[in-house]
Every structure is written in structure tokens, then in C-alpha cells.
Structure 1
Amino acid sequence: MATTKITGKELRALGYPEGRAIGSAMEVMEAHYKGKSKRQKLELLARVLQTPGLYAKHETLGPVATSLIIKTEHNQAIELNTRRLEYSIYGAEAIEQGAIHQMEIAMKLPVTVAGALMPDAHQGYGLPIGGVLATNNSVIPYGVGVDIGCRMCMTLYDIPASYASHRADELKMLLMEHTRFGNAGFKRPEDDAVLSRREFGEINILKAMKDRAHKQLGTSGGGNHFVEFGVAELLDENNEFGLPIGKYLSVLSHSGSRGLGANIARHYTKLAMDKCKLPGEAKHLAWLDLDTEDGQEYWLAMNLAGDYASACHHQIHQRLAKALGEQPLVMIENHHNFAWKEKDAAGNDIIVHRKGATPAGKGVLGIIPGSMTSPGFIVRGKGEMAAINSASHGAGRLMSRTKAKQTLSKQEVRKHLKKAGIELIGSGLDEAPMVYKDIHKVMAFQQELVDVVGSFTPKVVRMCGDERFAEVD
């Protein structure tokens, strides 16, 4: 006697997608339609496949229809707009075409409402580094980036600026003893209130990250992250700090949310790409709707990572302040690789992604670094709406890491550092000063975005690795 039981192979041949819809169809047929022939079952399921919406509330076929609807919506590609929105570019002549191309794709997203490209921009994944993108009630994990909440932090001390040159060897020792990079950590990591945040216990992906986050607290990452002693010069006598204009010994740090941020970014980017199907050229711009559980969960995790990054910087500066035997006169801090809830010019709510760009709303203070042999700047935002209240986060790369390693020599870089009077611990050719754009040109391109309040000149720099650059063959 011929069996009336249908198979997954037959359902796939009918056009059913892999997954829950096939299992649901087989379960429903066996539970409710045992008396029908296989041909009758397949005809019925074919009708459900053609118009699942008509069967969504059907007493017995509802589960099959619902599975089909979910699967269809899940796999349906979201089309980009045929025309991109206009956006502002600052310093277009200094920006590579790849970054501009990425920005133009981002401006075609259905959720995009505005955008801008900063003068330090260069090509990245999804949104270019230096890209600012405003969206409607949605967050793009790769629009934020992998190193969530990466930031600059500066402290100024009531110590003569000459200390940085006359006591360079002592400052080197302080950096070696009180900072850690890459996989290195402190034997006894300090605690911080951020580790008691409820998100570590309520969000599944974060539960397993807390111990590692504790071990890495107060440390810096690899790549272009650094901690350095230098000289800050306040140029505006009406500065917000109430300090006299002049030069101060300073500490400047650049780092992010370490393994915590990286794992959050990977998890939610995959989730977004799985649920938000975009054309290949735009796939890294997949978003999460903030009205969904996934969107809200990422938002909480992102903010936790940003606060964790800030806590790392505060511990770095506290350790060095204690070693110096001084309390800082002031701390300045700003961050990038983040998304903010803001208002546009019309008062509408927007989500502003700044990937390698920093907030520059009216009166907002920030730090824009150059390279290890060029100055950085303390800036005050002008609140330029065409730039979505943003500015660059640094000089920006002129040369990729691969190209730097292929074209630069260690002798050439050593000579460059010696001429600039820079003492360097760690680093490599991919972070040589000449791989970065001219910070003075970058600043000239954004005069309408920020006012310069002060400058910072590096003197003793530590990056990932404990070997002195000048001693590496």
C-alpha cells in the first residue's frame, strides 16, 4: 500500500524553503490530514505556498502559513533607493574615491535621512571611516564600527612643559610600568562601577564577557591606540577650564572598548545582516530597527561598551596621575565609533552614526590628534548642521597598513622620529607618522566645523608592543 506521508524532498520540489516551514507542513499534514492522499496534501500545501497570507489565520494551516511568511520576509532583499540623498563632503580632494563610493551607497539606504563625510575619511567596511550617517529609528552596527566607543582622553597637569623633554627617560618608565597594550594586562586589575551594570546579567551575549572585560579594564588595544606624554598649549584665554593660556605637561590616550566592544560588534552585525538582507555592495550597512528587541538590545550593549571604554581611559589617567604625584587640572574626553540619539534642524529624532568622526555640536569640546610627530588640537564645536554637528576624529590614514609595510623602511622612520624629537616605545611601520594625512590640511578643511582652543605636541609615545622602535631590526 502506497504511503500518504509527504517528505521534505517533495516539499522542496514544490518550492518550500529550507527551515521551519517544511517541518511545520509535515507536522500539520500528519496531525490533521491523515485521511487525504499525498496528491491532495501537496495540492493543499501548494495553495498555502502561493498565498500564505490567506491562510495565516486558518485553524489548522495557520502555522504553515506563518512559517512561510516569516521565511519570506526574512529572505527578502531590501532594495536601495535608486537615487542617493545629497550630503556634505569636507576636503573632497584629500579623500580617496573608495570612501566616497561607500558613502554614496550609504546615502541610498531606505532608512537614511542625512549624511556627511569628514576630511580624514578613508575606506572601511560598510560606512567609511570618517563617515557620519543619520537614520530614522534604526542603528547600523557596522555604521558604529568594531571598536565601539573608541575615544580620546587628555589630562593637563600643573607641571612645567619642559618636564616632557628633560625627564623623558622617567616618563618612559612610567608608561612602561603603568600602561598595558594588546593582550597584556595587569596582575591585579582594578574594579569599576561599569562592571556592576545590569546589562552583564540581562543580555545573554554579555554574560560570558564580564570576566574578560574585568581583566582588560584600564588597558589599551593594538593598532593605532596609544598613551603618550606631551605638551598641551591653551590658546584661548576664554577657555572652558578657567586656566591661563600657556603650556602644560599632558597625557593623551587613544583606545576603545577592547574585546567587549569587538564581540558585541561581531554578534550584532551578523544578526543585522541575517535579518536585513541588502544587496552585496551594501550588506555591511544592515540595520536593526530600534522598535525591535534586537535593536534595543544592541543599543544597550553599545552604550555599555562606550562606558567601559571611558572607564578604561579614566583608569589609565588615574594610574599615571598617581605615579606623577599630581592631580590633573582638567580632563577632556570625546569619542567616535558610536551612535547617538539627536535632533535634526527641524526637531525630528534621528540616530547619528559617527564612524571615525566626533561630535562637534555648538560648544562641545573635543580632541583631534595628528600623528606621533605632528600636533593634535583641542577644539570647540560650532554646531554645523550640514556636517550633522560633527568633525574629524584625527588626521586620517593616507596609506594602508599593507602599503606602509611594503614601502617604508625602519631606517627612514627612525630618522623621521629622531628629527621630531619623539621617544617611541612599541609600534611598527604601519603606524609610522608618514602613513597619516597632513593634520594642518585636515584642520583647514573643517574650519567651519570647529574652533581651535589649544594644541597638543607628543613627546614620549607608547603603542602596542614593549620593544623600542629604534632597536627593532
Structure 2
Amino acid sequence: MDGATLIAWGFQPDRWFKQGIATANAMRAAGESDDAIFAHLQTLAPVETLLRTNGLPYGLFLDAETPAERANAAAVAAHMDALMRVPTIKAGAVMPDACPSGSAMGTIPVGGAVACENAIHPGFHSSDICCSVAATIFKRDDDPVKVLDAVQRVTHFGPGGRAKPIRPAFEGDTDFGDNPFLRGLENFALGHFGSQGDGNHFAYVGRLRSTGQIALVTHHGSRGLGAQLYKRGMAAARRHTAIVAPKVPAHNAWIKADSPEGRSYWQALQIVRSWTKANHAIIHTMVRQEIGNQIADTFWNEHNFVFRRDDGLFYHGKGATPSWSGYSADDDGRTLIPLNMSEPILITAHRDHKGSLGFAPHGAGRNASRSQHLRENGDALAAELAALQARGLDIRSYCGIPDHSELPSAYKDAAAVRAQIDKYDLARVVDEITPCGSIMAGDWERDAPWRKPR
């Protein structure tokens, strides 16, 4: 280390540099991290990365017509205005499905995307790391009821792992012990492998509009494995940001990408991505074996993740679908955008809209929180579910209790979101999967032990 290193870290040359360089090299020789060296040098001459006085402008691809939509858009804008003051962010965008994802000001909204320089922000991909959708198109026609029955037999929805674990086999499964962010998480990787999530995660069965072929689509993230990685990533990010930018809110903390911790975290993200892709695949494979059909086609994409583009920036999508060619090594040019349980799932081709940072929406999003929707609609929601079932849609709740906060009325108008995708050229719809039925976890918390009186 020399004076150039200290200047690159933000220190101003002064008489203390000679002592600082000697101290820094001694600490490095002793095996101390760059963060520890930086923290010690700050005691000699403090330097701080400050929030911007005003937020950077960002791309806004969100139309609002009704009072509820305008209130949602105003809340999203307030969060983005605060978020765009974070010093690592170089550009940002808001998708048509945007809605707030937290109450702390400056929390990245669902449908938000930001490009950051030399920084990975765990809070920007959230605990549901690599939340994603995967489609399998079957060769022969089949009964949708038979496919949904098979899904219920081979997996489970909700918290926890499987009663009988499936031994995972995915690229990177032997690397846990070598990565400080994944060490000790092997049991999560094994126990949750082959299981679905709760909340808005689903298994959806429909037909390809172009051919009529039966299709299975699953939606989930990295389960407990990703949640634990997120906790560790946030802890590391807060340690680093507390040193270099103590005035930045904790939920906007980052890990320096080119530091040893940053490289380890990036590797951990890729391993968890491999796990999640394999998790979709094993569920689809088990369903195929149950129904005795063959696979004609399969593809997938994530919408809660971090990507690195050719410009060297780290592109964080929080509920935003990548829509540029080569966003990943396994990109085949197609992505999936689900809307709600009664609407088609869109199969789209990339557009790489510069203003949206190359992203498209990941779904329909909400104009109100789950609790607000339940409070305002009450008994009408049971009638809504009954009407969907009367239309012939096979809507199931794995735990047996419907979660009315997941009904179509809880989401933005699907036609309006689709119109905005077209209007802003965020993605190009090339086909659809029309709905036959779906399974979600349902309201598994209603009869949870901690909710029952003694």
C-alpha cells in the first residue's frame, strides 16, 4: 500500500501519510482486512462518504389514474427520491408494478431497479434472494387437475423444509464450506430443497396460447437458504457502511464489491442462484415423473437479484425482470411475467430499454398493503374466490385456508400493467400461458400454534 491507495480511499495527503502508510502495511501483513485498516486510519484523519444533498433523477415508468394508483405512485416516488441520494447509486428506474416494500424512507420499492458502482446492497435484493419463475412445457396433453394433484403430492408450500429431504445436486453445492457467507448453511440447502414458499409464491398450471400445450410454472425464491445469506450479507454491509458512510440508513448499507467480502458475497449469490434454479427443476422433474409425461421445453428467470453489466456497474432488481440479452449465462432470450392467478402469464422477449436500465416489471404489483386490502374488502373476497372457481379455475390453498390477500383484486389491474409494458417498450410479449388453476400456501398462519389461545 502507498499514498495512492490512501488517496483512492478518500484521504487527503498530509504529514500523517508516512505514518499511515506504514501502519496500513503492517496491518495488512498481519492479515487485517481493508475495512479494519480503513477504520484505523480514520482515527488519524477521518473521511466519510456522504449522502447526496439531492437525489439523482431516475426513470419512471409508472402510470397512475385512480386515487389508489396516485397514492401508491406518490409513496413510491418519495422512497425513490430518498433512495437516489445513496452515494453508490449511479442510475435508477421504477417499473409499472412498483409499490412500497417497507416503511423506512428510502427503502427500494418492489419494481425498483438501481445501478451501483463497486457496491452490492443486500437490502436491494431483499431476503427473498433470487425469487424467480420457471416454466415447463409438456410434450403431450394432460389434465390440469392431474398436474395440480401431482404438484401437491411432490412438494409442500409454506415455512420449513421437507419431512424427507432430497439430496441436492446443483452446481456449487460443494462450495459452502469455502464461502464465509454460506458456511454452516448446508442444512438449509438440503432441508428446503424441493419445497415451495408462502406469500405470493405459487405453482400455476395453464396452456400455451400458441399451441395449447399444458404448462407448469413455479414461483419461489431461495427459501431459508437465501434468508440466512441475506442476514449475513446485511450484517457485513452495515459493518462496512458504519465505517465509510455512517449517515447512510442501515437498510441502504452496502458491501464494497472489490473487497474480499464483496467477492465472497458475489460468489455466494451465484451459488444460491444455482440452488434456486435446481429447486425449480427438481419440482418440475418430480411432477413430470408423477404424471408420466415428457418435457418439450423449459426456461426460467429471476426477478430479485444483482447483475453485473459490461459497464462494470452492479444492477440490482427488486421485483424487476431483466430484459436484456445475456443478463446471465443461461439466458435464452425469454422471460416470464405473471400477473395474477386468473390472468395469463406473459412470455416475453428482451427490449433493453435504456431508461429502465434494461428491466421490465416482474408482475402486477399492489396499490395497497395486504392488511389494507383485507380490511377494506372483507366478505367480498370470499365471493371473489367463489366466482373464480365458478369460472372453472382450480384455485387451491395448500394449507386448506385461502389467503384472500392473494386474490386478483389485491393486485393492480393486469390490463393496465400490460399496456404500460407495451407503451414504454419494456418487453415484447411473444406468447402467453392461459390459466387452468394454481396452488398457493394459503393463510397457514391463521391456525399457527402461536395464534391459538392457551
**TM superposition score category, shorter chain reference:** 0.7 to 0.9
Q: Distance in 2 between matches of 1:58 and 1:328?
A: 63
Q: Does 1:437 align with 2:412?
A: yes
Q: Distance in 2 between matches of 1:142 and 1:67?
A: 23
Amino acid at match of 2:321: T
Residue equivalent to 2:129: 148
CA contact (8 A) 2:141 2:213 kept: yes
CA contact (8 A) 2:172 2:274 kept: no
Q: Structure 1 stretches of 5 or more lacking a match?
A: 1-50, 235-245
Q: Distance in 1 between matches of 2:395 and 2:58?
A: 40
Give how far 1:394 is off. 0.6
**Deviation per residue, 1:51-90 (Å, 9 max, x gap):** 976854789xx99x97973565999764211232222111
Amino acid at match of 2:440: M
Residue equivalent to 2:79: 102
- Which of 379, 382, 400 does residue 411 from structure 1 map onto? 382
Amino acid at match of 1:149: C
- Which of 443, 448, 452 does residue 429 from structure 2 map onto? 452
Task: Pick closer, same or farther for the CA change 1:77–1:284 going to 2, 3 Å.
Answer: farther
Q: Does 1:124 align with 2:101?
A: yes
Task: Pick closer, same or farther for the CA change 1:466–1:176 going to 2, 3 Å.
Answer: farther
Same amino acid, percent of matched pairs: 27
Displaced runs of 4+ in structure 1, greater than 6 A?
51-54, 65-68, 73-76
Give how far 1:418 is off. 2.3
- Which of 65, 84, 88 does residue 111 from structure 1 map onto? 88
Backbone CA RMSD of aligned residues: 2.9
Number of matched pairs: 395
Q: Distance in 1 between matches of 2:324 and 2:257?
A: 24
Aligned ranges 1:159-178 → 2 under 5 Å: 159-160=140-141, 163-164=143-144, 168=145, 170-178=146-154
Q: Distance in 1 between matches of 2:38 and 2:355?
A: 45
Residue equivalent to 2:8: none
Residue equivalent to 1:317: 284
Give how far 1:194 is off. 2.7
Residue equivalent to 2:362: 393
Amino acid at match of 1:145: S
Q: Distance in 1 between matches of 2:390 and 2:428?
A: 30
Taking structure 2 as the reference length, the TM-score comes to 0.79
Residue equivalent to 1:255: 220
3-state DSSP class of the match of 1:372? Answer: coil
Taking structure 1 as the reference length, the TM-score comes to 0.76
Q: Distance in 2 between matches of 1:88 and 1:152?
A: 25
Larger-Rg structure: 1
Task: Pick closer, same or farther for the CA change 1:82–1:220 going to 2, 3 Å.
Answer: same
Q: Distance in 1 between matches of 2:319 and 2:44?
A: 33
Q: Distance in 2 between matches of 1:74 and 1:273?
A: 21
**Deviation per residue, 1:354-397 (Å, 9 max, x gap):** 11001111583100001111222000011211111110011112
**Deviation per residue, 1:327-351 (Å, 9 max, x gap):** 21101211011111102xxxx3211
Residue equivalent to 1:46: none
Amino acid at match of 1:273: R
Q: Does 1:133 align with 2:114?
A: yes
Stretch moving more, 178-187 or 292-301 = 178-187
Task: Pick closer, same or farther for the CA change 1:58–1:433 going to 2, 3 Å.
Answer: closer
Q: Distance in 2 between matches of 1:73 and 1:85?
A: 32
Q: Which structure carries more helix by proportion?
A: 1
